[in-house]
Copies of this chain bind each other. A is one copy, B any other.
């Protein structure tokens, strides 16, 4: 089923206002949730909205709270999210990082005690829209086993990087696991196998079966030992720079809350020379001989734009069951 973007957003906003969100905050959060579905990240759009509502009702997310400054080191700042809505806090942090980059060339904001930001790409798109390079990452609850281990002691910390571009920003939004948990759940819902191995079965063998992987709780990090190391380092950076909770501490709690995040913005020199350099890299990458003539090489974010265009034109693809659930709130 498909529904207009504005209808989706209006419904989210109605619910959030009912939950005592201010008009402004309800509008911003509703916009981001609707955009996530619009861009094809259904797992962090409509599909995640009921969980967001539950977290608010249970007081895990304290929507009235604002972030407060902890330390100002010049081009780098440390904030406390005060357990406010993750989307609001993250938009605020990337905005601060952009302001710092405007003054200093580069800016970095680390925030502790915040909540799930939904789609990491949202904040990299934000930086790119403002003409800045964006880099952001978060830690999470433990759900990935480290290289050499079989039980999860690492988060599925995503790494997000954007480069502003006239004809469509380049936005890499990658969970360090081969597939995000949301994506594996999606394959499971559709009764499909993963296209490449995404984790292990109970016997430690690589598997493409979403159910088997979800049961073993052993999702595969990209590049085996490499992704395992990268996840750990991102947790170290987020935790040390924010002086906040690590994956360990988040996992010790009953629910995934109070996470640590980092936002970096860098100001590129704008102009024809930069535009040309970017196009040259994209065109050269695409010039690779194709494995399948019908499947062109794409740059990160390119397919998102295609999905966005279709969802805006034909209506945003939604899961009817979840949609009815949201309308009943």
Contacts and interface: CB of A to CB of B under 8 A. Distances in A.
Interface string A297-316: 11110000000000000000
Contacts of A161: 230, 233, 237
Contact of A237 (B163, B174, B204): B163
A61 interface: no
A292 B281 CA distance: 43
B246 A266 contact: no
A55 interface: no
Contact of A246 (B133, B226, B277, B289): B277
7 contacts: A73-B105, A108-B266, A133-B240, A146-B285, A232-B300, A248-B281, A249-B280
Contact of A243 (B107, B196, B277, B289): B277
B74 A105 contact: yes
A235 interface: yes
Contact of A104 (B73, B153, B299): B73
Nearest to A245: B277
Interface of A: 71, 73-77, 103-108, 133, 142, 145-154, 159, 161, 163, 170, 172, 174, 178, 196, 204, 222-224, 226-227, 229-230, 232-233, 235-237, 239-241, 243, 246-249, 251, 264, 266-269, 273-274, 277-278, 280-282, 284-292, 295-300
A268 B71 CA distance: 12
Contacts of A178: 223-224, 226
A149 B290 contact: yes
A160 to B, nearest CB: 10
Given A151-B289, A153-B285, A281-B239, A196 B174 contact: no
Contact of A163 (B151, B236, B269, B273): B236
A146 B52 CA distance: 37
A235 to B, nearest CB: 6
Contacts of A107: 75, 106
Contact of A75 (B106, B148, B229, B286): B106
A152 B299 CA distance: 15
Given A148-B295, A174-B230, A285 B154 contact: yes
Contact of A148 (B146, B274, B297): B297
Contacts of A247: 281, 284
A229 B288 contact: no
Nearest to A274: B240
B298 A76 contact: no
Contacts of A227: 222-223
The 5 A-B residue pairs with the shortest CB-CB distance in the complex, in nearest-first order: A149-B288, A222-B223, A76-B105, A73-B105, A248-B284
A151 B288 contact: yes
B76 A74 contact: no
Contacts of A269: 71, 240, 243
